Chain A
Amino acid sequence: MAVSERSPAAAGNGESIALARSYREAFRRNAPGYLFLTPWLIGFFCLTLGPALGSLYLSLTDFDLLQAPNFVGFQNYIRMATADPKFISAIRVTFLYVILSVPLKLGFALAVAMMLNRGIKGLPVYRAVFYLPSLLGASVAIAVLWRQLFAADGMVNSMLAVFGIEGPSWISNPRYSLYTLVVLSVWQFGSPMIIFLAGLRQIPVDMYEAASLDGASARRQFWKITLPLLSPVIFFNCVIQTIEAFKAFTPAFIVSGGTGGPINSTLFYTLYLYQEAFGNFRMGYASALAWVLVIIIAIFTAFSFLSTRYWVHYDE
């Protein structure tokens, strides 16, 4: 920038030069950060924030993918609450699944982690064996396997037949079908188990030694040392696994052939959302379903965090 000879303008120019310099300085300081962040920023605005706001709007419309969306106010949400028995089924099935599978899964994970945490020989082998189902569990192959394990002539019934029990067709009986999926989820206790193992290692051994010297029983040590000191990890696992359980999709889809049947007994929330969006093309309604899922997960997470002050110990 050229400096003018006339003094008032020169003063003005001096200011603008200083300003330009500070802009350049700011640019120099900020540019690399934003350059590195560019891919994420594009993704954040175009693939996360934009679509999230978009679906919030679509949830207030009757969008069906073919015609332009018409604004219908809260009608989708009202219909959900008052006139959609399938939605109520999906909620009931999903909550039952979450309430049964999460505590059982975490219970197994903790019990096995404690058994493995006793300086046992062959720990890496056991840990690997227990972890493997978690790693494979999300694939279609395992859902296929599950469908066949619990079929009328499947493995489980063959085993029961040895004891002279004639088992039902677990998968096609609405009374049992959901429980087969709960078993599938519990079978994958490996990854919370690994997190528990890492947490158990953080508990100083001398605490147990001191407690033993004072004559505390193993049970008392579990309640007074292990559980309180492990509570942040339990809390973490609980939140993560619950959110994952709310989002479960593949097993119900494969086991029921995409229907959520028999009689909606395996109609997971996400499966219903999928049916509404990509089966019936009720995209507006499905968007509303998605936002209700967010609200459910948010309420659950908020309550979990609020409850921590009563049972989670963060000291030390």
Chain B
Amino acid sequence: MSNEARALPGQGSNHPYLRSGLLHCLLIAASFVMLYPILWMLAGSLRPAEDLFGGGASLVPSQVTIKAYSQGWFGMQVSFGHFFLNSLLIATLATLGNVLAASLAAYAFARLNFFGRKLWFALMLGTLMLPYHVTLIPQYVLFLKLGWINTWLPLVVPKYFAVDAFFIFLMVQFFRGIPRQLDEAAQMDGCSPWRIYYKIMLPLSLPVLATAGIFSFIWTWEDFFGPLIYVSDMSLYTVQLGLRSFIDSSGTSSWNELFAMSILSLIPIFLIFLFFQRLLIEGIATTGMKR
């Protein structure tokens, strides 16, 4: 689909090669501008501390060193390894919850008949537009009463109740595309809805489950606001919180260490991007995800 050649709309040019050459030059220049800041940060993280601003805007360090990585890693009382492990655990648990809970609800909406289905579906769509700020404070009070403040529970447990309606919506769209004959035949054979769900729907929905899982993981990994308000103990910090207190604790004296840790915090997302690019891009193109 992505490589399919298309006629040039409305371009009756006599110099197709010149034109496409120019277009490539323009796009390459634009790509360079887009990636420059990230490459600059990467270069900065590899420079010796005293060279960071001496290097100006250039991408080539005068001298390559990974000292910033080793120093930044142990730059605070708790090492970044700990933060990475925390983030990984939270993101994995949250992703599992999102996929599991959203697929259950989506199966009910897409395939089962029950009283009030349309009403619930409309309410679910309504929550898509609701900014989370509206539920923020009562949720905080609820978690406070439950004694969940300064634990990971507020970051993970809500996902097991399919609070992020976006994933339900995404899966309902996909489930509706699966031929109904399959589950009707299974029903004839006496399959229960539960068996149909995990023997037929889930195996056939791997692409959408993967897409939801990947986005869920990335969003939880990048989430800053949730950990910011719920977690205060440094040993429970996520990578994002770790970076933030690294700014506060080191001031502007060790920017190369901050850069090094920032680069490391982006690596998991970058790897997911490398391996699952197609799923990410199709997910956005078909459902219009925000980022």
Interface residues, chain A, with chain B CB atoms under 8 Å away: 26, 29-30, 32-34, 36-37, 39-44, 46-52, 54-55, 58, 63, 65, 112, 115-124, 126-142, 144-146, 148-149, 153, 155-156, 158-159, 161-162, 187-188, 191, 194-195, 197-198, 201, 205, 208-209, 211-212, 216-218, 221-222, 226, 236-237, 240-241, 243-244, 246-247, 249-250, 253-254, 257, 270, 273-274, 277-278, 283, 286-287, 289-291, 293-294, 297, 301
Contact = CB atoms under 8 A, between A and B. Distances in A.
Q: Which 5 A-B pairs have the closest CB atoms?
A: A43-B161, A33-B114, A54-B138, A141-B262, A158-B56
B215 to A, nearest CB: 10
B60 to A, nearest CB: 13
The SS class assigned to the A binding surface is: helix
Contact of A194 (B4, B228, B261, B281): B281
A198 B11 CA distance: 20
B243 A140 contact: yes
Interface string B276-290: 010011001110111
23 contacts: A34-B108, A37-B105, A46-B142, A115-B26, A118-B20, A121-B24, A128-B281, A132-B35, A132-B38, A132-B273, A135-B273, A135-B280, A139-B266, A144-B243, A145-B41, A149-B37, A155-B57, A191-B291, A205-B6, A212-B10, A253-B228, A290-B131, A290-B134
Nearest to A125: B31
Interface in B244-268: 244, 247-248, 255, 258-259, 261-263, 265-266
B41 A187 contact: no
B74 interface: no
Given A42-B161, A131-B280, 5 more contacts: A36-B193, A47-B142, A135-B273, A139-B224, A191-B284
Interface in B130-186: 130-131, 133-142, 144, 158, 160-163, 168
Contacts of A290: 131, 133-134, 136-137
A90 to B, nearest CB: 13
Interface size class of B (residues with CB under 8 A): 35 or more
B224 A36 contact: no
Contacts of A117: 6, 9
A145 B23 contact: no
B264 to A, nearest CB: 9
Interface stretch (B62-70, B88-96, B115-123, B203-211): B115-123
